[in-house]
Structure formats: C-alpha cells, structure tokens
Amino acid sequence: MIIMSVDYGDVRTGIAVCDKMQILASPVCVITEKDRERLAEKVKEIAIERKVERICVGVPQNMDGSYGFRSEACREFGELLKEVTGIDVDYQNERLTTVSAHNILNAVDVRGKKRKAVVDAVSAVLILEDYMNSIKNK
C-alpha cells in the first residue's frame, strides 16, 4: 500500500510517500500555501499522481501526552483531506520530528534557504517512517 504523510503547517507543508512494499519513505516536496482548501487540492493532485492509498497526517503531542490547539488544526486538516481525496486518513504523533529533521540536515551540512525549503519534507519522511513502524508492530 502506498502511503503519503503530511507535515501540515500554516505556510509550508511537507509531503512524503513510501513505496508499495512500505520499505522506503521518500520526500516528495514542500508545498507553500496558506489557504487550507487550495492546499488540500494540491495534496490531492499529488495523491492521485502517486496512487496513494492512505494518508497519514502528523499531529503534535505535548511531552506530557496531551494535545494542544495545533493538534486540533492538524486533525481538522486531515478531515478536509479525507473529504477532498476520498482516501482514509490516519494520524501519527509528530513530536520532535522537526528537531530531528534539523539534526539530520545539520549532519549533511544543509543550511540557510536550502534548509528552509526541505526541512518540512524531511519531517514528513520521519512521520511516515514512524507510521510504517507502528503498522508493522501491530
């Protein structure tokens, strides 16, 4: 099953997909779009192009396990995606994925504008990897 992950942001949203065997998660792009409806349509286009069968939206969870206002925004966007694409949407804890993405980009010496352009896609890859691991462990 091909799965797409979405690292939803107010301005930039990272997209990643896995292969059909769910072995490799790869970054696709970062979409710069503030309007949720237009963003959902752009995600839909990628989902159709990539033959996506499930979407996973990253949801931030606080260190104490609770969910804040940002989590609600991510879940609302996930529901919009489900409505627009007709594809089932799951949610994955994305706590610290952006920090991890920055650490990865530090390790490969990606800085400045290049970093800003890819950090959300790297975060989407990390969300997707966690989601795939959670499926395998069920």
At residue 115, does pLDDT exceed 60? Answer: no
Assign 22 to helix, strand or coil: coil
Q: What is the pLDDT of residues 80-114, one digit of tens each?
A: 999 999 999 999 988 666 666 656 666 666 666 66
First CA to last CA across the chain, in angstroms?
16
Task: Give the model's pLDDT for residue 53.
Answer: 97
Q: Specify the long-range contacts of residues 131-138, CB closer than 8 Å, at least 24 apart.
A: 131/3, 131/5, 131/56, 131/90, 131/92, 132/3, 132/18, 132/22, 132/25, 134/92, 135/22, 136/22
Average pLDDT value for residue range 5-31: 95
Residue with tokens 């606080």: 62
> What radius of gyration do the chain's Cα atoms show?
14
Task: Give the model's pLDDT for residue 64.
Answer: 77
At residue 119, does pLDDT exceed 80? Answer: no
